[in-house]
Amino acid sequence: MVDVFNLTEEWLARLRSSFARSASEADDFNYVNLGDSIATGVIGINGKSQHYAAVAAQLVAERLGLSARRGLRTPDDLGADAPMTLGGHGWRIESGGLYGGGCFQLDADDAVLHVLPQPLSRAVRIAHRGALEYSTDRGGSWHPVNTRSGHALSRSEIHLTGCQVWFRRRGRIMWLQDRPAAPGIAWYTSGVGATRIGDLERRLAEDRDTGYRAYGVLAPDLLTIEIGVNDTIHADEENPTNSANALRRVLAGLRAHGSQSLALIGAPPVRLDYQPGTWRVVDAYREIYRPVAGEFGIPLLECLTRWSNYDRAFARGFLTDQVHPSALGHADLAAGVADLLLSATSDRRS
């Protein structure tokens, strides 16, 4: 099990409350991981199904006798999942969206987005802006999607009467989420193309804090923030003090916009000759990760403590190169995440 720093009873109580609320509403327990572009699962593993977020969800689902599934669908997922088709004119996929692939921007009245929900779904949830309409009868009738004016994001739920839902008119769709007939453990790992903490802060703050707002609207039961190693291996370019302050602002921004159950995932060990100067990953834990986790009262999963130094981690098969975790490394890290999730179902720590 991955070592956890600063796992307090207050934090556990909040997670249990969130889990209990989901269970009482016959809804999924949602776990989302936020990180840099590596979080999409293309380096060291075959795909997102081997990412620690997916493995952790599967472990918890098996323990609780539930199903584990990928809960969110975004433009970045089109190639693999093919749940959406684009029709009409005016569709484009914007860069810089929350989940690494952009958001759907509908800028022509006759364009239509055709969504195929997962089997046995009873509703589709969306985060959106603008004057959208939807249809559940192949465009036979259209209904307005509730929205707010200005720059605020709205969350809507459309109950299904068929096996598909169409959207049209002007607006943006940030993400879609199926609400299944039977609840389970829903996961998603979200890469936003931010290789450093400062980049992550800038991406979340774009377009009047759209990123922060979208996570708040999504309101996952647990949101883990994966801290990459670039703030360490490029410490000659990024001042460590700036990285710590950027992480503080990220956590404060997420909380201010409604994300409450947060946890940090620490960086893995890195080969020494891949880190310039005297700054090391171990220094990042001492100067950035632990102090910030303590200030915000959130747990930190310490990959470095569990795996020891780079040579030992590589010899054990946890790393696939100078920095990236292997499938075995993701599985080992998933054990720590699963322990956090399982703690929500018990009155005491696992």
String of DSSP letters for 272-333: GGGS-TT--HHHHIIIIIHHHHHHHT--EEEHHHHH-SHHHHHHTT-BSSSS-B-HHHHHHH
Q: Is 215 found in the same domain as 106?
A: no
CATH of the domain at 104: 2.60.120.260
Q: Is the pLDDT of residue 11 over 70?
A: yes
Which of the four pLDDT bands, split at 50, 70 and 90, describes residue 80? very low
Q: What is the pLDDT of residue 149?
A: 58
Q: Is the pLDDT of residue 201 over 70?
A: yes
Q: What is the pLDDT of residue 282?
A: 87
Q: Is 96 found in the same domain as 48?
A: no
Domain that holds residue 302: 3-67+183-345
Q: What is the pLDDT of residue 47?
A: 80
Q: Is 153 found in the same domain as 223?
A: no
In a domain, 296, yes or no: yes
Q: Is 261 found in the same domain as 118?
A: no
Q: What is the pLDDT of residue 171?
A: 82
Q: Is the pLDDT of residue 200 over 80?
A: yes
Identify whether the C-beta of residue 89 lies closer than 8 Å to the C-beta of residue 69. Answer: no
Q: Is the pLDDT of residue 87 over 80?
A: no
Reported pTM: 0.90
Domain tally for the chain? 2
In a domain, 350, yes or no: no
Q: What is the pLDDT of residue 233?
A: 72
Q: Is the pLDDT of residue 326 over 90?
A: yes
252-308 pLDDT per residue, tens: 999 999 998 999 999 899 998 887 666 788 888 998 999 999 999 999 999 988 999
Q: Is the pLDDT of residue 349 over 90?
A: no
Identify whether the C-beta of residue 289 lies closer than 8 Å to the C-beta of residue 264. Answer: yes
